[in-house]
Amino acid sequence: MASTVKGLARTCAAGLVLVVMLAGCGNPRPASRGAPSPPAGSVSHSPPSLDVDVVDFATRSGSWPSSEDDLENASNQLDRQCLRAHGFAVPAAPPLALPVPQDEAAAIDLPGRRSVGYGLAKHSAPAPEPTTFVGDVGFSAAQFGAGKPRIKVSLEGKATVLTPSAGCVAQGYRELAGDLATWARLYYVPQQFDDRMYAAMYDDPRYPVALATWRSCMNSRGYSYSRPDDVEPALRARYDASGMTPALEQLELRTAVDDGECQLAVHLPTTLLQIRRSLVASLPRSDLATIATMVVARRGAVAKARSVLAAGQR
């Protein structure tokens, strides 16, 4: 890729060969499907002058995770159906359930922190080798087309991405989004804008105020970190230097839980999400127009995805 952007963790049908395409396989965390009420005294609404779907799109929050689940699950279902027609019985992958940013409990995931901390040892372990259809030329041709042809799609700014232009993968993308360029942009552009909202948040005067409440809680527990983003890298540096010793493992677990409990105590996830959502209104008009156009295309793709999923349940 020329000027790549980060992708979200996506699911693939179980046993499929991992390839460089729009995304790879992941292990998504289950998350609450609803949008819980905000903490007492907080405000959780979109700028009144903007369509709420525009704000959701630019911050990957609100209704966005649930509809994104539908798009990916429908894509996987279409892929399996297409492969079955080519003689490959691919087992279904677990349904995707992206974390819901406005659900603080799911975003922090204290049970997960108590179990694996920040997941330093888990994330450093090599991924298991796929076994199903490995080296099967016929499967590869069915999935991605003979020779794995690609097309280049322009994203925002100078970023581009390569996506399959043939095979079952491309066929499913076209069925949902109408064309491959639209699918690729619906996949990547939300993260591009979300990254911009994060960057803008760091310069917002409300950001250090919010961090101060978390930092005070952490200081009371014996920590001196400036912000949550600093904690995991500091522990990872120690892990890289010495390996995962029993003492470091206990430190990771304890720190992850304390960090999570402090974030929940001061409602840091909600506060930071509100800042990011409010900053969408400050985007240039051209960017807002781009998002609005993509929101319309996405609504159509989501409607198609839900019809695919409904048909598969009959």
Per-residue pLDDT reduced to its tens digit, 41-89: 344 444 556 899 999 999 999 999 999 999 999 999 999 999 999 999 8
At residue 185, the pLDDT reads 98
Summarize pLDDT for 228-241 with one digit per residue, the tens. Answer: 999 999 999 999 99
Quote the mean pLDDT of the chain: 84
- CA of 159: how far to CAs of 4, 89, 186, 198, 216, in Å? 6, 36, 14, 18, 40
Residue 119 domain boundaries: 52-312
CA-nearest of 39, 44, 7, 43 to 26 is: 7
More confidently predicted of 137 and 304: 304
Contacts 24+ apart (CB under 8 A), 121-128: 121/239, 121/244, 121/249, 124/239, 127/18
Q: Is residue 9 part of a domain?
A: no
Number of domains making up the chain: 1
Q: Does residue 41 form part of some domain?
A: no
Give yes or no for a contact between 69 and 97, defined as CB atoms under 8 angstroms apart: yes
In a domain, 24, yes or no: no
Going by C-alpha positions, the residue among 205, 149, 155, 208 that lies closest to residue 183 is 155
Radius of gyration, alpha carbons of the chain: 21
Higher confidence at residue 231 or residue 100?
Answer: 231
Contacts 24+ apart (CB under 8 A), 83-91: 83/13, 83/139, 83/142, 83/143, 83/168, 86/138, 86/139, 86/142, 86/168, 87/138, 88/133, 88/139, 88/142, 90/13, 90/14, 90/15, 90/16, 90/132, 90/133, 91/13, 91/14, 91/15
Q: 60 lies in a domain? A: yes
Residue 123's pLDDT band (cuts 50, 70, 90): low
Q: Does 47 reside within a domain?
A: no
DSSP 11: -
E runs forming strands in 176-269 = none
pLDDT at 199 over 80: yes
Q: pLDDT at position 2, please?
A: 38
Residue 191, CA distances (Å) to 60, 89, 221 in order = 7, 33, 34
Is residue 27, in this structure, part of any structural domain at all?
no
**pLDDT band at residue 90 using 50, 70 and 90 as cut-offs:** confident
The vertex-278 CA angle with 277 and 280, nearest 5°, equals 70
**Is 95 within the bounds of a domain?**
yes
Q: Which residues pair with 25 in a beta bridge?
A: 10
21 domain residue, yes or no: no
